[in-house]
């Protein structure tokens, strides 16, 4: 069983001690989201990409958060940032394709929409 709350406490302590790195901020963002703190997750993930703009996992997680909030255009932009850093990221490719379909990008005219 995963101890997300325990991991979050450890990450928060590392940040408090000024031991934070881009990867740590990314991990903190993921744990904050898992604990239901969307705003805190976004803040940590934004610190991660500010410190390391090529941190694909943080861009992807920001995209996931935007998608959860039904911010489709923003999600697409964030997934594209993740793909710029990691072009072969399978999860991000899938997420990006799903959002593009939601936006009607890449569909043939008259094609049935199969996602809800």
Tens digits of residue pLDDT in 17-30: 666 678 888 888 88
Identify which has the larger pLDDT, 98 or 109: 98
Average pLDDT over residues 44-50: 94
Distance CA 40, CA 77 (A): 21
Identify which has the larger pLDDT, 7 or 105: 105
Claim: this prediction has a pTM higher than 0.95:
no
* CATH class of the domain at 53-116: mainly alpha
pLDDT (tens digit per residue) in 62-98: 999 999 999 999 999 999 999 999 999 999 999 999 9
1: pLDDT strictly greater than 90? no
Distance CA 78, CA 59 (A): 6
46: pLDDT strictly greater than 90? yes
Distance CA 95, CA 105 (A): 13
**φ/ψ (deg, to 5) at 27:** -65, -40
16: pLDDT strictly greater than 70? no
Residue given tokens 């992807």 in the structure block:
60
Question: Any idea where the domains of the chain sit in the sequence?
Answer: 1-52, 53-116
What DSSP character marks residue 3? Answer: -
56: pLDDT strictly greater than 80? yes
């Amino acid at each position: 069983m995963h101890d997300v709350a325990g991991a979050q406490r450890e990450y928060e302590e590392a940040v408090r001690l000024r031991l934070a790195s881009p990867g740590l901020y990314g991990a903190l963002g993921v744990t904050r989201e898992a604990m239901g703190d969307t705003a805190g997750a976004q803040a940590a993930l934004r610190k991660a990409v500010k410190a390391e703009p090529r941190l694909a996992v943080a861009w992807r997680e920001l995209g996931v958060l935007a998608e959860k909030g039904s911010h489709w255009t923003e999600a697409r932009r964030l997934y594209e940032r993740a793909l710029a850093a990691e072009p072969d990221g399978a999860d991000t490719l899938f997420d990006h394709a799903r959002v593009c379909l939601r936006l009607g990008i890449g569909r043939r005219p008259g094609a049935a929409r199969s996602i809800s």
